[in-house]
Amino acid sequence: MKLLNLEIIKLKKKTRSWLGPILVFWLIMIAYPLTVELSKENIEVGFFSVLWISILLSMMFATEDIFTEDYNDGSLEQTLINDAPFAYYVGVKVLIHWLLIGIPVSILSFIFSLGTTEDLFLSLLILPFSIMSSYIFLNLFVLGNALSLNKGSALGAIITLPLALPILIVLGKSIVAIQLEINYLGFMFLLLGSLSIIIVTVPIVVSFIIKAHLE
């Protein structure tokens, strides 16, 4: 609980770190209609693709310096030698980032979807998909950042981006399933299953990777 509160305070203090990704998402979603012919059908055609990619990019920005400050000031090493498992610390960090960045981005996804498609059912279904996908992307980019801990976040993002592509494929197929009202729950459970595996394994793997950096 102490760690949770500490991480919330740390992230809230760095306004750029949590507000920046939300604004990036907002900007992309606002800029998108400007790039297409202004008719409802044209905007709807590419909307969901842009939505998922915007979520992906904003989660990438969100994890840009997730470990950098702690690594530079030595608190990462201190946490490593604490009693609490290091994976727990990583899990808490990801959770806090998701609460402060992933959830607002997901709510904005619902709003933008409602505004673009004017379909409440579709937009309500976008919400759980956005929530789950933002958490999955956060975990994947945290993995990438751990791998390239002191080498800049771009390398890490590039390395782990291929792992996010299957999730994008599933998200794309899920929109088709929602629009045709066939088996969209199956895709939801598929994402939920992936998330439940990722949520457990990624913090453990990241803890080993960071230990390798610090040794």
Partner 1 sequence: MIKKFIHQFASPKTYLFQVERAYKFILYFSIIIYILSLVWGLLFTQEDFVQGNSYRIIYLHVPASFLSQSLYISMAIASFVYLVWRVKLAAYLVISIAPIGALTTFIALTSGSIWGIPTWGTWWQWDARITSTLILFIMYLGLISLHTSFSNYEKADKLLSWLAIVGAINIPLIKKSVDWWSTLHQPASITLTDKPAIDPSMLYPLIGSMIGFFGIIICLVIISSKYQILLREKNKSWIKDYV
Binding site for partner 1 (CB under 8 A): 143, 147-148, 151, 155, 158-163, 165-166, 169, 173, 205, 208-209, 212-213, 215
56 class by beta-carbon count within 10 Å (0-12 exposed, 13-18 middle, 19+ buried): buried
Between 124 and 212, CB nearer to partner 1? 212
Between 30 and 155, CB nearer to partner 1? 155
Between 107 and 168, CB nearer to partner 1? 168
Helices (H), the chain: 2-13, 15-31, 40-62, 68-73, 75-80, 86-97, 103-117, 120-147, 153-180, 184-214
| Shortest distance in whole angstroms from residue 11 CB to partner 1 | 26
Between 115 and 166, CB nearer to partner 1? 166
Between 121 and 189, CB nearer to partner 1? 189
| Shortest distance in whole angstroms from residue 197 CB to partner 1 | 9
| Shortest distance in whole angstroms from residue 159 CB to partner 1 | 4
| Shortest distance in whole angstroms from residue 20 CB to partner 1 | 25
Amino acid at 89: Y
Coil, helix or strand at residue 84: coil
Structure tokens at 28: 């992309």
| Shortest distance in whole angstroms from residue 157 CB to partner 1 | 10
| Shortest distance in whole angstroms from residue 10 CB to partner 1 | 26
Q: Are 11 and 97 in contact (CB under 8 A)?
A: yes
Nearest to 55 by CA among 30, 34, 28: 28
Distances (CA, A) of 95 to 31, 88, 122, 203: 29, 10, 27, 11
Between 114 and 209, CB nearer to partner 1? 209
